[in-house]
């Protein structure tokens, strides 16, 4: 299944992307499914959705007539992995990490996959970062790597937008990565049965039609099972939490000359098989 949330910002409804131009309106059929949030994932929400798929009373909306929000409602955490592609670490002059470099993004930065990215006042050097993200499906604490896949609800696309000057000057990354609209997510949350393996997924970015980033998820130094196991040692992952697995090389600010986001730009990022985003920069 491909899960989506559709409607006005702040008033999104849970839906299922049918792939034929329609979205199944989940709440019209099952009002108790309020949203794709921690409660949904923790209480067999996926199984309930599968039962709805064949219901003759299902209500559909035209996919092209509605705004898509992020496919997951406010998660308790967005955990990001820095320098998880060796070539990306090298382009910034970083040492190759021996263990995952973790940081977080503010949940208030989350926006939809086709919403604008709004540059904050005084922004100087802003990058887009294409990433494969994994969403946790059930509580994960002290998980073994071989059991990690059982804790995955699905996969989505995430743009880790970053203001580099703020990131580097503050001595920590949180503010430079946490501005409002700096976390476009979606369009879909694809369930694991639709993603037989992540290693061959191509992660990419274009800026105004120019290719910027491209790599296979299999190029990551720390794979998804390892990340879930590593993070869950002492830090409980809750249903609906998001792990952004890192970005490939090709970042604009690392180029010579630099290519940074400016008003009027159009950023497209995607992961083959998981959909693509298109965001105008304002």
pLDDT for res 91: 77
pLDDT tops 80 at residue 92? no
Q: Which of 99-103, 105-109, 155-159, 179-183 has the lowest mean pLDDT?
A: 99-103
CA–CA separation, 11 and 21 (whole Å) = 21
> Which runs of consecutive H residues, i.e. helices, occur in 110-198?
164-169, 174-177
pLDDT for res 86: 84
pTM equals 0.96
Look up the CATH number of the domain holding residue 233: 3.90.850.10
Last residue of a domain, one of 69, 103, 124: 69
The whole-number average pLDDT for the span 253-275 is 96
CA–CA separation, 85 and 227 (whole Å) = 14
pLDDT tops 90 at residue 53? no
Residues 142, 214, single domain; the answer is: yes
Handedness of CA 152, 198, 96, 148 (dihedral sign): positive
Mean pLDDT of the chain: 95
CB-based contact 182:117 (threshold 8 Å): yes
pLDDT band at 90; cut points 50, 70, 90: confident
Paired tokens of 8? 């006005």
Percentage above 90 pLDDT, the chain:
89
pLDDT band at 94; cut points 50, 70, 90: confident
Residues 134, 243, single domain; the answer is: yes
pLDDT tops 80 at residue 93? no
The whole-number average pLDDT for the span 78-83 is 95
The whole-number average pLDDT for the span 205-228 is 97
Residues 131, 51, single domain; the answer is: no
Residues 18, 144, single domain; the answer is: no
Residues 50, 171, single domain; the answer is: no
Question: What residues make up the domain containing 98?
Answer: 78-280
Domain count, the chain: 2
pLDDT for res 88: 84
Residues 133, 64, single domain; the answer is: no
Last residue of a domain, one of 18, 43, 69: 69
Buried-state track 48-75, b at ≥16 Cβ within 10 A, e below 16 = ebeebeeeeebeebebeebebbbbbbeb
Angle at 132 between CA 222 and CA 268, to 5 degrees: 140
Distant-in-sequence, close-in-space partners of 270: CB < 8 Å, separation ≥ 6: 130, 157, 203, 204, 276, 277
Residue range 33-50, pLDDT digits in tens: 999 999 999 999 999 999
């Amino acid at each position: 299944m491909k899960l989506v949330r559709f409607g006005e910002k702040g008033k999104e409804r849970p839906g299922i992307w049918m792939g034929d131009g329609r979205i199944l309106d989940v709440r019209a059929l099952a009002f108790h499914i309020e949203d794709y949030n921690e409660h949904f994932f923790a209480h067999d929400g996926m199984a309930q959705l599968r039962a709805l798929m064949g219901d003759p009373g299902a209500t559909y909306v035209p996919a092209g007539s509605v705004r898509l929000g992020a496919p997951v409602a406010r998660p308790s955490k967005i955990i990001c992995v820095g320098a998880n592609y060796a070539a990306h670490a090298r382009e910034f002059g970083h040492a190759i990490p021996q263990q995952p470099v973790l940081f977080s993004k503010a949940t208030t930065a989350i926006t939809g996959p086709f919403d604008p990215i709004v540059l904050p006042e005084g922004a100087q050097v802003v990058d887009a970062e294409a990433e494969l993200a994994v969403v946790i499906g059930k509580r994960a604490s002290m998980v073994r790597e071989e059991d990690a896949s059982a804790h995955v609800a699905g996969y989505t696309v995430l743009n880790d937008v970053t203001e580099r000057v703020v990131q580097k000057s503050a001595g920590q990354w949180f503010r430079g990565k946490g501005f409002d609209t700096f976390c476009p997510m979606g369009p879909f949350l694809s369930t694991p049965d639709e993603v037989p393996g992540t290693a061959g997924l191509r992660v990419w970015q274009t800026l105004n039609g120019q290719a910027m980033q491209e790599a296979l998820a299999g190029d990551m130094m720390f794979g998804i099972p390892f990340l879930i196991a590593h993070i869950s040692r002492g830090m409980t992952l809750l249903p609906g939490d998001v792990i952004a697995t890192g970005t490939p090389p090709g970042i604009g600010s690392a180029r010579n000359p630099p290519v940074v986001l400016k008003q009027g730009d159009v950023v497209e990022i995607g992961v083959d098989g998981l959909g693509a985003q298109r965001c105008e920069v304002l």
